[in-house]
Structure 1
């Protein structure tokens, strides 16, 4: 008969060590989980449907305002207006400013964007601005999330089909479900080595459409900036597909102010700043250079004045508008050439009752989007305005202005 097994003191110590290890491992997994440090409160009832305005207001005054430090522009989505501040993204009632839902994480909020009737919030962790979540606009319910290595600062923008997440060393294109369709630039752990066409490049600017992604980059070994045109959704997301890439030789192409400003299905617009006269020729004015779908320059349009650093591009449907820092320029959706200008603008526009609202010193200017002619001037007495760029949005009969890190509702 076998002797009964006996537990020794060493066996007990080993069992205790294993139990402690399991507890510590479980705590680490819990502490690193996405749900930890997250506070998500969804709307308690259906959000009222907002009806589009049918006529312009004759006057506007401030109704409420809220902190909005993390957004780059005034955002509306679905039937709510959206703010982002100190890790919290909020969907607000456009009439009262009351929070209908909010999503909060104990991480820095890199930025907020809206597209597809949703809100996209991106947070920074130890891998950069790598944590993105998509929320239903009207309820705040989490739809999908993604995580990947990104730069410490990125800019997320939408073209109506894809989302572009752009950093200085790397960019990604995302579908409407946040699935990545393309990674370009630095890759931290390449699945397939040597698939990126170049390495060590600094991505200066980029813009996209449903069929083209244009990147202005500065690469080692190039004498000047390079314009690269890519498929935004190649067969493999880790294997970029180029339609063309060439170092730009035009005067001013390598200036820090040069940038991609707009992309259509078969054209790309690039801004060049003015150049100084040289011993062999005159200087050139600021201009827009239009390139074809492979990056070849096909047209140039001089500008009346150079753009400021805060120049911002806005797409409203197929229409493209550029706030230059002191004027608003409309670009042709087919040729990308300038077609009209509103001078002394203070920021970016929005559509209301079939007219384009443009912020100016004493209010909002309503203009004909076809030719830029003034239709009406709507007075506003702005509080705490210090000359910041004004981003305009409209939801129903309410006009929103984002300026100075605050979102103001005007009614």
Structure 2
């Protein structure tokens, strides 16, 4: 029996040496195979995941939004401008303004335009939008648009991401806590955490086939509001267009669409321009008319519109150009701004010769016109005054958004920020 040995006050135990376990050849082969699989998986993930080719530089700290204006000034001066070709509308998120060009989303100080953060991928952006205080960026992956990232609007850090099934030309529609991705034969909706709640149309490799109501349909026009998504579609079994209203928040499996109603329209070439909790507004061709449908798809009214017939068809991306305040939705037909009651969707007034639907600024409604910005009485559609803006020869459409006293104009592929002059 071994006994402890005392040496300079320490106790030393005699122990048998531990011999390493000899591995069998089969164990060694299995271990090597596991390592190889892990290495290959790491390489594949590193080269194909959204982390590959990504540069994210967040803001150093929270930003500060510009102060709210007290009135529409008598003059605006250009504060800054930046390329923003991937943004169909001005994007304001957090305390600042966001631009999107190439593969880069940039968060900017609203007042100076200085960069606060950026998020860059080694591929091109398809589109961007603001929703639930975040910036939603949809990127190309080969020929599709299927990498969606949600960025914090203030700091620029990535919050959520998912793969979607979209095509070039897709738009992101946000309302409440939902985001909808449009497409010519497929659309899907997600919650604010990007968990899928709806798929409608042609689904690649569906988990359970036969859950879609119709096949072979193409989608021409989209509009969304909280809890409702409107789609104008053409189907092989119909000789006219069809308006379908769905629940984007689901209520069951995502690949089983929850349809509120689906009704045939009188003609082809229609577009849906607005939805409310109980109404759907569709523009019909022929003599241009606004058809208003109730919650079951029955016609409530049919109102003539004073616009050219060429402006009835939906725009190329399928999304009507609209803006809203607490009482009205403003639709831009292509040459006129038409105010609709936000609940009943009945037309209230038409202002001709405009460049976009407008936006709220200092508690008033401001509409872009060729000579500048028209300050409009939102109740009657009467122009109170016009603030001159020099756009340097640009004469295309203008989408507006406000962040404090900064007014941002989306002029084609460029964002231009205006501030009160003087």
Q: Note the C-alpha offset of 1:22.
A: 5.6
1:154-233 → structure 2 map (5 Å cutoff): 154-233=170-249
Rounded to whole Å, the distance in 1 between the matches of 2:37 and 2:226 is 50
SS in 2 for 1:240: coil
1:290 is aligned, of 284, 289, 292, to 292
- Cα distance in 2 for partners of 1:263, 1:13 equals 63
- Greater alpha carbon shift after TM alignment, 32-41 vs 150-159: 150-159
Measure how far apart 1:364 and its partner are: 0.6
The equivalent of 2:78 in structure 1 is 62
**Aligned pairs (5 A) from 1:88-103:** 88-103=104-119
Q: What's the counterpart of residue 259 of structure 1?
A: 271
> In structure 2, how many angstroms separate the alpha carbons of the residues matched to 1:261 and 1:69?
24
Cα 1:177–1:13, aligned 2, differ >3 Å: closer, same or farther? Answer: closer
Alpha-carbon distance in structure 2 between the residues aligned to 1:298 and 1:347: 28
Q: Is 2:365 aligned against 1:353?
A: no
- What is the aligned partner in structure 1 of residue 389 from structure 2? 380
SS of the aligned residue for 1:27 comes to helix
What TM-score comes out, normalization by structure 2 length? 0.86
CA RMSD of aligned residues (A): 2.5
Offset at residue 111 of structure 1 (A): 0.5
Structure 1 residues 91 and 335, CA gap change in structure 2 (3 angstroms): same
Aligned equivalent of 1:240, options 254, 257, 261:
257
Q: Give 1:400's match in structure 2, choosing from 408, 413, 416.
A: 408
- Cα displacement (A) at 1:210: 2.0
CA contact (8 A) 2:65 2:403 kept: no
Q: Which residue of 2 aligns with 1:301?
A: 303
Distance apart, 1:20 and its partner CA: 6.4
Q: Which runs of 5+ in 1 are unaligned?
A: 275-284
Whether 1:144 and 2:160 are equivalent positions in the alignment is yes
Match of 2:336 in 1: 327
Q: CA deviation at 1:12?
A: 11
- 1:275-294 CA-to-partner distances (Å, cap 9, x unmatched) read xxxxxxxxxx1111111112
Unpaired runs of 5+ in structure 2? Answer: 1-21
Return closer, same or farther for 1:127/1:317 CA change in 2, 3 Å cut-off.
Answer: farther
Partner Cα separation in structure 1 for residue 23 and residue 120 of structure 2: 53
State the distance in 2 between where 1:132 and 1:292 align: 34
Partner Cα separation in structure 2 for residue 403 and residue 6 of structure 1: 70
For residues 135 and 191 of structure 1, what CA distance do their matches in structure 2 show? 30
1:225, CA displacement in angstroms?
A: 1.1
TM-score between both structures, scaled by the size of structure 1: 0.88
1:314 and 1:134 mapped to 2: Cα distance? 23
Give the equivalent residue in structure 1 for 2:64: 48
C-alpha distance in 2, partners of 1:225/1:70? 30
CA distance in 1, matches of 2:326, 2:152: 21
Q: Is the 8 A contact 2:65 2:404 kept in 1?
A: no
Displacement of 1:370 in angstroms is: 1.8
